[in-house]
Amino acid sequence: MERPRRAVVVTGFGPFGEHAVNASWVAVQELEKLGLRDDVDLHVYEVPVEYQTVQRLIPALWKKHSPQLVVHVGVSGMATTVTLEKCGHNVGYKGLDNCRFCPGSQCCVEGGPECIDSIIDMDTVCKRVSALGLDVTVTISKDAGRYLCDFTYYTSLYQSRGRSAFVHVPPLGKPYTAEQLGRALQAIIEEMLDVLEHSEDKINCQHEH
């Protein structure tokens, strides 16, 4: 039985601060060259490091593509591994964006839950990708950093009821090349889709009985 085509949206961020070239967007462009499996339509977007643009753009992407999954990729100057983020946080946004703006309320969604977890089991994804023997180390985190990465992730999790993921990558060459990051993203997203489909199959089975 042929699987229906599915949309997957993957975003990277534009330049900010010392990141004149943002490794996340470079990695996403590498992923676009590689593509995902045949039944997936991949849509990639570069997101500016601006709170207000994120608040407008993320819901628009969900509306436009009705994706099975949205994966946001961001750079972390402190990261030395490719890091799967488990959750997004609602409050504590004090860092100014590229427009010198930060939310007056310092939160994503006023009255929203403090933390939203992805419905994807990141531990499973991490184990599976690590078992593939790629030349990239994958780890897990529960703190996406309370800046645009965390803000975008929470906004997307809130919009999608948890059907989003966030991946932090290190700056280019510290230690990975763009090609290595692109291949790692391809493997991670394919495993995420697999985990998501299996959890949905289970839910569907339960509904049928």
Task: Tell me the pLDDT tens digit for each residue of 1-32.
Answer: 666 789 999 999 999 999 999 999 999 999 99
What's the pLDDT score for residue 199? Answer: 80
Give 34's contacts (C-beta < 8 A, 6+ positions apart).
182, 183, 186
CATH of range 6-207; options 3.40.50.920, 3.40.710.10, 3.40.630.20, 3.40.50.20: 3.40.630.20
Closest CA to 157 of 125, 116, 112: 116
User: Contact 28/10 with Cβ under 8 angstroms?
Assistant: yes
Average pLDDT over residues 143-163: 96
Concerning whether 99 is annotated as a catalytic residue, the answer is no
How far apart, in whole angstroms, are the C-alpha atoms of residue 120 and residue 66?
17
Predicted confidence (pLDDT) at residue 54 exceeds the cutoff of 90 = yes
Concerning whether 190 is annotated as a catalytic residue, the answer is no
Lowest mean pLDDT among 93-102, 120-129, 196-205: 196-205
In the chain, where the domains are located:
6-207
Which residue in 85, 87, 126, 191 is the catalytic one? Answer: 85
Read off the pLDDT band of 207 (50, 70, 90).
low
What's the pLDDT score for residue 204? Answer: 64
Which residue in 87, 108, 126, 149 is the catalytic one? Answer: 149
